[in-house]
Amino acid sequence: MAGGTGGGETITMSTHESAVQAAHAHAGPQGFIRKWVFSLDHKVIGLQYYFLALVAVFVGMFLSLLMRIHLVWPTVALPLLGDIRPETYLTLVTMHGTIMVFFVLTTAPQGGFGNYFLPIQIGAPDMAFPVLNMLSFWTTFAGFIVMIAAFFVAGGAPLHGWTGYAPLSAVQSTGPGEGLGADLWIISIAIFCIGALMGALNFITTTLDMRAKGMTMMRMPLTVWAWFVTAILGLLAFGVLLSAGILLLMDRNLGTSFYVPLITVNGQLTGHKGGSPLLWQHLFWFFGHPEVYIAILPAMGLASQLLSVFSRKPIFGYKAMVYAILGIGFLGFMVWGHHMFMSGMSPYTAFAFSIMTMGIGVPSAIKTFNWLGTIWGGRIRFDSPMLFAIGFVSLFVSGGISGPFLAQPVLDIQLHDTYFVPGHFHLIMGVASIFGIFAATYYWFPKMFGRMMNESMARWHFWFSFIGTYAIFMPMHYLGMAGMPRRYSQMTEVAYLHNLIPLQKFITYAAFITIAGQLIFLVNLFWSMFKGKKAVDNPWEATTLEWTTATPPPHDNFGGHTPVVHNGPYEYGVPGAPRDYVMQSDPGIEPAH
Amino acid sequence: MASFSTTATIIDSGPPDYGTRLRRARLGLLVALTPVLMLFVSFTSAYVVRQGLPTLDPRTATLVRDWIPVTLPKLLLINTGVLVLSSLFMELARRQVRGEAARESADSIPGVSLGGENKIPWLAMTLVLGVIFLFGQWMAWRQLAASGFYVATTPSSSFVYLLTGTHAVHLLGGVLALCSAGVASLLGLSLTRRSIVVDVTAWYWHFMAGLWVYILCLLEFAS
């Protein structure tokens, strides 16, 4: 399909129309509003997503700091919030999780870098539907504004956790924040779903239909494969979350009983009956587990890319990596029940979900093995993108190892409501994905802004983040095994947890230091945009198409031309080649003279 | 010994031709229909699950069923006929505009003519039927309310309002797309662009007609 020019029903356009379109194709808009605000250029839209995620991540981190402070000094009044009540603490938990999962982990890797680089890496001038692409960003932005607005309405933001479990989330009188704040939370997520679906539509159509000549599916960089499969996951998952949200809104506002059984709240019958809280859990986790892979797959693709580039070796087992991405995507839809082992599920059903969950370890292990195979014997360049790629693999393995524990119902029932679970998912889904975002930033910054980031600051940032992450989240596993429950706001006065409080304090100190380390990144990012060393077109000597075009790329990416692809994406150390790499667009081997 | 050339091959990239744009738009539509399908699959799943759930009767402390089947208004059958007919008209409109586009291309070749054009306003007729369908759905809602079935009366009535309402919102999207094609036609805008809009809307419209038949069968036979 790629590169084709005709469908089954070809009708020639008028010459005039062709000429007008040709003139428009290469000229970027000039006005500020059209160029930077309501831009149709996928690169600008990618940057918009990126900076939205940057704002969101600092909001999310701030909330997590407030939580950490309260956990170890519960009587201290917090900035902006004053004295913290248990329900306020739950609000912080809810908003931290929601903002991080939706507006950071889903937004930056896919919406940010995917938007910017997918079309360039396949040799396309833009996304398939630029207007839809713009709408996708502004819809996501609107979702973020609505989410933040929940803090400022009567009752404040909701307290039902990022998973929004019913009936807590389905009845307005269950607590402060469960009134208008919870409605805004649901509406925000519904808006986000619509934006994400528009984005997924563009990613899939662009990948299938706009690849340059010679860019076969099996010549696509693994980053493109990852964005493509992530888009498919989003396409299948966000529609389900949207449906779940509509039912939840109806329960809350129209008196229906999809999720709410006959219950009393504060001694009063709610008027609902017959609904099933488990129905929400099934619908939510049918989205929720693929969401883990929506967050992590782009980072996997990027790690594959970077380990090859900075080891100066072809990726080990390209086809196996592609099939592993597909396998992870497929199995990601089969395992949602492992989030519900506590729900009274039949042991036979739990066993099936457990086996499927264990099964997802196979493609994950293939990827890890191939990453190690890629760097084995390589001439490794320890530049900052490579440091973060290695950091990603480390976090993925460390977080992944605790996965099989939680995949077993008998262990999960013990560990599920303890700190073991936040330790696990923060390592494998949260910070691993964030490391992918950092790696992508350091790697593609020269192409996006035409300047290099400061390498010394990048290294300091890496070590702060890497050591800090382990210092925060590894001890959580021990807290969990020792029986410290999660979601509780105040545990300093609980006798059996008393000996664990010093460890909680250590985590809080580590969080302070690690978040302070992120300021190095922030300074480096903005300083380098204006003062960084000028970048050449291909500073990392990489092979994929984005490094063949100007820096930063022109409006239509290749200046009115389309590259022709002759090689795979990871041609390093090719015998007889004049350099140690062969670009994808190089014609390659010519007959001997 | 083999040698390497590092001079990249590039080709000029012009704007995509009609065929490419049509194929891309159709592919985009196919992808876009997937989450719509997932939305209704989720609702169906919820429908089946909720139907089988008992609830506690606090007076007798026993589990009872609260699923009271709703007698669907006969008007829904008439609405179904209207929508299926509109789908037929939509298909005729799609073929008509495709013929116009082909005629425009052929007319630019000296000595070639494909004859007169079909003047029946299929697109406008589809639009009218689409609006009639939506109005009919609204009237069916009023009939349901008049017979005592509101959105929260019973879980089955909740699903009737949910499924018909969500379908209507999606069909409204198709109506707006038809309006945009009609306005483009009145303003004499690009025929190729209009023909792509009509083509894609037609497939969407057919999908919506099929989806409605499915919803009606679900509500009628699985309640």
% of chain B surpassing 90 pLDDT:
65
What Å distances lie between residue B22 and A198, A212, A506, B26, CA to CA?
A: 19, 18, 60, 6
What Å distances lie between residue A80 and A58, A62, A176, A509, CA to CA?
A: 16, 11, 17, 21
A325, pLDDT greater than 90 = yes
How high is the pLDDT of residue B56? 84
Q: Is B28 on the interface with A (CB under 8 A)?
A: yes
Tell me how far apart the alpha carbons of residues B178 and B171 are, in angstroms, rounded to a whole number.
11
Tell me how far apart the alpha carbons of residues A457 and A459 are, in angstroms, rounded to a whole number.
5
A241 min Cα distance to partner chain B (Å)? 8
Do the domain assignments include residue B122?
A: yes
Q: What integer is the mean pLDDT of B8-17?
A: 73
Specify the range with the lowest mean pLDDT, choosing from A20-34, A231-245, A360-374. Answer: A20-34
- Give the range of the structural domain holding residue B94, as residue numbers without chain letter: 20-51+66-221
Q: Is A587 on the interface with B (CB under 8 A)?
A: yes
* Interface list for B 54-83 with A (CB within 8 A): 54-56, 58, 66-67
Say whether B8 and A235 touch across the interface (CB within 8 A): no
Q: Is B19 on the interface with A (CB under 8 A)?
A: yes
Q: What integer is the mean pLDDT of A48-58?
A: 98
Nearest to B192 among A11, A283, A564 (CB): A11
Can you give the CATH number for the domain in which B208 is found? 1.20.120.80
A259, pLDDT greater than 90 = yes
Q: Is B151 on the interface with A (CB under 8 A)?
A: yes
**E strand or H helix that includes residue B4:** strand B3-5
Nearest to B105 among A11, A274, A558 (CB): A11
A13, pLDDT greater than 50 = no
Q: Which phi and psi angles does A379 have, rounded to 5°?
A: -95, 85
B147 min Cα distance to partner chain A (Å)? 18
How high is the pLDDT of residue A5? 35
A591, pLDDT greater than 50 = no
* Interface list for A 537-556 with B (CB within 8 A): 548, 556
Q: What integer is the mean pLDDT of A298-325?
A: 98
Say whether A10 and B35 touch across the interface (CB within 8 A): no
Domain A45-548 CATH superfamily: Cytochrome c oxidase-like, subunit I domain (1.20.210.10)
Q: What's the predicted TM-score (pTM) here?
A: 0.93
B222, pLDDT greater than 60 = yes
Each residue's pLDDT tens digit, B156-170? 999 999 999 999 999
Confidence of residue A397 (pLDDT cuts 50, 70, 90): very high
Confidence of residue B7 (pLDDT cuts 50, 70, 90): low
CA quadruple A7, A13, A15, A20: dihedral positive or negative?
Answer: negative
Mutate to test the interface with A, among B31, B41, B194 (most CBs of A within 10 A): B31
Confidence of residue A38 (pLDDT cuts 50, 70, 90): very high
Do the domain assignments include residue B2?
A: no
Strand, coil or helix: A543: coil
Which distant-in-sequence residues (6+ apart) come within 8 Å of A292 by Cβ?
Answer: A332, A425, A428, A429
Confidence of residue A27 (pLDDT cuts 50, 70, 90): low
Tell me the chain A residues in contact with residue B32 when contact means C-beta distances shorter than 8 Å: 197, 201
- Residues B174/B104, Cβ–Cβ less than 8 Å: no
ipTM, interface predicted TM-score of the complex: 0.92
Confidence of residue A83 (pLDDT cuts 50, 70, 90): confident
Mutate to test the interface with B, among A1, A12, A203, A547 (most CBs of B within 10 A): A12
Mutate to test the interface with A, among B1, B7, B9, B150 (most CBs of A within 10 A): B9
Residue type, A473: F
Tell me how far apart the alpha carbons of residues A47 and A52 are, in angstroms, rounded to a whole number.
8
Confidence of residue B66 (pLDDT cuts 50, 70, 90): confident
Do the domain assignments include residue B14?
A: no
Name the domain count of chain B. 1
Q: What integer is the mean pLDDT of A527-552?
A: 96
How high is the pLDDT of residue A589? 52
Would you tell me how many other CB atoms lie within 10 Å of the CB of residue B32?
Answer: 21
Q: Is A559 on the interface with B (CB under 8 A)?
A: no
Q: What integer is the mean pLDDT of A556-576?
A: 92
Confidence of residue B6 (pLDDT cuts 50, 70, 90): low
Count of A–B CB contacts within 8 Å?
Answer: 220
Tell me the chain B residues in contact with residue A243 when contact means C-beta distances shorter than 8 Å: 38-39, 42-43, 46
A508, pLDDT greater than 90 = yes
Q: What share of chain A is helix, strand, coil (3-state, %, to 5)?
A: 65, 5, 30
B3 or B48, which is more confident?
B48
How high is the pLDDT of residue A26? 57
How high is the pLDDT of residue A213? 95
How high is the pLDDT of residue B79? 98
Nearest to A201 among B14, B31, B54 (CB): B31
Nearest to A586 among B4, B49, B155 (CB): B4
Of A418, A468, A519, A489, the closest CA to residue A92 belongs to A489
Say whether B155 and A258 touch across the interface (CB within 8 A): yes
Each residue's pLDDT tens digit, A115-151? 999 999 999 999 999 999 999 999 999 999 999 999 9
B154, pLDDT greater than 80 = yes
- Residues A207/A118, Cβ–Cβ less than 8 Å: yes
B117, pLDDT greater than 70 = no
Say whether B22 and A9 touch across the interface (CB within 8 A): yes
Strand-pair partners of B55: B64
Mutate to test the interface with B, among A1, A5, A11 (most CBs of B within 10 A): A11
How high is the pLDDT of residue B18? 85
How high is the pLDDT of residue B118? 67
Nearest to B42 among A25, A205, A240 (CB): A240
Confidence of residue B114 (pLDDT cuts 50, 70, 90): low
Q: Is A589 on the interface with B (CB under 8 A)?
A: yes
Q: What integer is the mean pLDDT of B166-180?
A: 95
What residue ranges do the domains of chain A occupy?
45-548
Say whether A587 and B5 touch across the interface (CB within 8 A): yes
Tell me how far apart the alpha carbons of residues B67 and B47 are, in angstroms, rounded to a whole number.
11
How high is the pLDDT of residue A40? 95
Specify the range with the lowest mean pLDDT, choosing from A320-329, A384-393, A451-460, B12-21. Answer: B12-21
Which distant-in-sequence residues (6+ apart) come within 8 Å of A444 by Cβ?
Answer: A113, A116, A117, A546
CA end-to-end distance (rounded Å), chain B: 76
Tell me the chain B residues in contact with residue A200 when contact means C-beta distances shorter than 8 Å: 31, 35
